[in-house]
């Protein structure tokens, strides 16, 4: 089952500052959930835990369970295969001289044959609207193109769970619309952290609102986002699409 469960997760960075406090959340198979909250709420820290990037040592308490498997230091390899994480900053994810090598990185690690890898790279680039970009240098692309190359690299690994940190931050309106369509059509269980609340309300059935490292509210996206007092108390605003529309005269 492509499920995700976080139980009472607390974490402090090495400087001792708590970034997550007893966070619990879950996503059922095929669900698309949103993580929202002001800057510094702990969204990125939570997402890094979902594929085991932050260490499960003394600074962490609680559990992350991916597809029924508790994440430990001994199964990180499988966890990385099950969970695809799109970093907030594409420059943290791109490190090869060509787009082809970056997108092929996962399939090469999995030991797929070269012809199969070529096919996967081609299809993943097509899915994100970057057909024919194989020979380009990732470092000479626009922010939006870089973000889409990163996503192609994740799609190339066909993860059971897709975790996206601010996936629209670098995209123009058309890129954003296409990304929304792509994410909506994916069969994977999806977790999206974003300030783009219109995207979240459009794609996510449920949301978790984080502030100060804690889950302060959770529930259906429309319900949480329509609670203006709650939203303002945590530095957010009700999305325009949820404001009452007056009928035309
Ligand atoms: P968000 O993604 O919601 O903006 P973060 O998860 O980035 O929040 O940050 C949560 C808290 O952890 C913040 O107080 C932030 O300053 C702190 N933090 C984030 N990354 C680090 C780090 N590498 N070292 C120390 N503190 C960090």
Q: What is the pLDDT of residues 34-76, one digit of tens each?
A: 999 999 999 999 999 998 877 666 678 899 999 999 998 888 8
Residue 201 in any domain: the answer is yes
Report the number of distinct structural domains present in the chain.
Answer: 1
Q: Kindly report the protein residue whose alpha carbon is nearest to atom 6 of ligand 1.
A: 42
pLDDT at res. 155:
95
What secondary structure does DSSP assign to 59-120, as a single string?
TEEEEEEETTEE--TTSHHHHHHHEEEE-SSGGGT--SSSHHHHHHHHHHHTT--HHHHHHH
pTM of the model: 0.92
Residue 172 in any domain: the answer is yes
Looking at the chain, the whole-number percentage of residues with pLDDT higher than 90 is 71
pLDDT at res. 77:
87
Residue 98 in any domain: the answer is no
CA 45–ligand 1 middle distance (angstroms): 6
Q: Kindly report the protein residue whose alpha carbon is nearest to atom 25 of ligand 1.
A: 13
CA 61–ligand 1 middle distance (angstroms): 17
Residue 118 in any domain: the answer is no
Rounded to 5°, the CA angle 53-55-61 comes to 120
> 60-66 and 69-70 as β-strands: parallel, antiparallel, unpaired?
antiparallel
Domain residue limits at 56: 2-88+161-241
Question: Per-residue pLDDT tens for 117-146?
Answer: 999 999 999 999 999 999 999 999 988 899
Residue 38 in any domain: the answer is yes
Q: What is the CATH number of the domain that holds 16?
A: 3.40.50.300
């Amino acid at each position: 089952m492509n499920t995700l469960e976080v139980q009472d997760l607390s974490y402090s960075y090495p400087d001792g500052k708590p970034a997550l406090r007893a966070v619990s959340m879950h996503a059922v198979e095929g669900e698309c959930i949103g993580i929202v909250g002001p800057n510094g709420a702990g969204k990125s820290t939570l997402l890094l835990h979902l594929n085991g990037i932050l260490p499960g040592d003394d600074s962490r308490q609680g559990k992350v369970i991916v597809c029924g498997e508790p994440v430990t230091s001994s199964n990180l390899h499988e966890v990385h295969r099950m969970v695809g994480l799109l970093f907030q900053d594409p420059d943290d994810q791109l490190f090869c001289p060509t787009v082809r090598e970056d997108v092929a990185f996962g399939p090469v690690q999995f030991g797929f044959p070269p012809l199969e890898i070529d096919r996967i790279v081609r299809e993943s680039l097509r899915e994100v609207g970057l057909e024919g970009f194989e020979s380009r240098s990732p470092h000479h692309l626009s922010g939006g193109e870089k973000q889409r190359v990163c996503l192609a690299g994740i799609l190339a690994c066909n993860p059971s769970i897709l975790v996206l940190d601010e996936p629209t931050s670098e995209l123009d309106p058309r890129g954003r619309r296409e990304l929304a369509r792509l994410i909506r059509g994916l069969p994977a269980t999806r977790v999206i952290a974003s300030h783009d609340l219109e995207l979240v309300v459009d794609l996510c059935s449920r949301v978790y609102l984080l502030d100060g490292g804690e889950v302060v509210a959770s529930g259906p996206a429309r319900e949480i986002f329509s609670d203006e007092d709650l939203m303002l108390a945590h530095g957010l605003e009700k999305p325009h699409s949820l404001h009452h529309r007056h009928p035309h005269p």
